[in-house]
Amino acid sequence: MTDVLPPFLPGPTGIGTSAARLASRLATADPEPEDPVAEADPAYAHRPWGDGSAPPLYCPVTERVDDVLAAEVDDRLAAWMGECGFSEEETGQVRKTRFGRLVTLAHPDCDDVDRLLVSAKLNAAWWAADDLWADDTALGAVSEELPAKLTLAMAAMDPVPPAGEFTPGLDEALGNDRVLVALRSAVEYLTGYASPAQVQRVCYSTFAMFVSWTAYAAWRHTDRRPPAWEYLAARQHDSFYTSMTLIDVLGGYELTANVFYGPPVRSAAIQAGTASVLVNDLHSVTKDLADESPPCNMVLQIAADRGCSVREATEITVGLHNDLVRDFQAAHRELQAVPAPELHRFLRGLRAWMGGGFEWHATNPRYR
């Protein structure tokens, strides 16, 4: 295991952590004064997005754009999706969505196509489950059916021991659904690059994400619009944190479990994951509103909560995002004092993921 850090951007990380500030952001749209220490960090910038009419998002800069590498990952990912049973039309849609580009943007310390495919396969499988089972009614998502499907998804990702005469039925079910096949295949591929602890980390962060999906399904089924605070509580366990659990796997090292799950590091990772998923919510508003039964979205929850316009709710969500990023900066700076090279590399990986995730959303036809 190497102690050499990858060539990430230099610079100190900033300041600005306060749970109270997050609460106040949900109560007011007033702008937060900028902190000069945080704003001076060259690894971060105020980045315009959408049509440019909303306030900019404060987030890390994108550290690598390599479309040649991304295309190779996307080609191999599309071939794999076909092997899992997805139709030609579906694999074509995967090509347009460009998960290969997402992972090359989000993991700038990895240029190994085989390792990048670890993340590409898992992200594509998670997105397929989300679109086909949970979110998009036009693609056949049915709220009442979701919990049972997610139970099978857990069995696909984390295989249960044989149970005599009751096992063949499970095996048949796992082999007859292309999403389940993809989830199982993606985890099997992961095991070739990750330790057992890293594999289970990925599985159980996914299962926590699934719990949030069942809450969304219940709200949708009962036509209930939860308050924004309740949605955000669920969203923090249904975020790009799940994708970020792969940072050290793709980097070829391992952050030990006690460090990974220690409160300071877990808090920083949840902040990074939540900030990144708010970028997704912001870019998804138009698409979500087009659904006959719109999925939960932070912007839409705030608008419904307060009876305000989508534009006002967008400004509040941008402010929340920017606060979370500054809180991550503060945590990153404090953890710099810990003499642990793998930890420093992982934290810089979280920062890189946020910057790459923003770039992917901002340039992806899915969100235009």
Domain boundaries, the chain: 19-367
**Rounded distance, CA 168 to CA 232, Å?**
40
152: tokens are: 């099978």
Predicted local distance difference test score (pLDDT) of residue 35: 65
Whether the model clears a pTM of 0.75, i.e. scores above it, the answer is: yes
Q: Are 282 and 314 in contact, with CB atoms under 8 Å apart?
A: yes
For residue range 49-96, list pLDDT tens digits in order: 999 999 999 999 999 999 999 999 999 999 999 999 999 999 998 899
pLDDT(268) > 50: yes
Residues 6+ apart with CB under 8 A from 278: 298, 317, 320, 321, 324
Is 342 or 15 the better-scoring residue by pLDDT?
Answer: 342
pLDDT(16) > 50: no
Mean pLDDT of the chain: 89
For 291-314, letters b (16+ CB in 10 Å) and e give eeebbbbbbbbbbebbeeeeeebb
Average pLDDT of span 106-121: 98
Q: Are 42 and 10 in contact, with CB atoms under 8 Å apart?
A: yes
Predicted local distance difference test score (pLDDT) of residue 15: 29
Predicted local distance difference test score (pLDDT) of residue 69: 98
pLDDT-derived band at 366 (thresholds 50, 70, 90) equals confident
CA angle 137, 138, 139 (to 5 degrees): 90
Average pLDDT of span 155-167: 96
For residue range 283-339, list pLDDT tens digits in order: 999 888 887 777 789 999 999 999 999 999 999 999 999 999 999 999 999 999 999
pLDDT-derived band at 44 (thresholds 50, 70, 90) equals very high
Predicted local distance difference test score (pLDDT) of residue 3: 34
Average pLDDT of span 114-132: 96
**Rounded distance, CA 244 to CA 355, Å?**
13
Tell me the residue length of the chain. 368
pLDDT-derived band at 163 (thresholds 50, 70, 90) equals very high
pLDDT(137) > 70: no
For residue range 230-259, list pLDDT tens digits in order: 999 999 999 999 999 999 999 999 999 999
Predicted local distance difference test score (pLDDT) of residue 37: 59
pLDDT-derived band at 12 (thresholds 50, 70, 90) equals very low
Domain covering 19-367: architecture: Orthogonal Bundle (1.10)
**Rounded distance, CA 210 to CA 155, Å?**
13
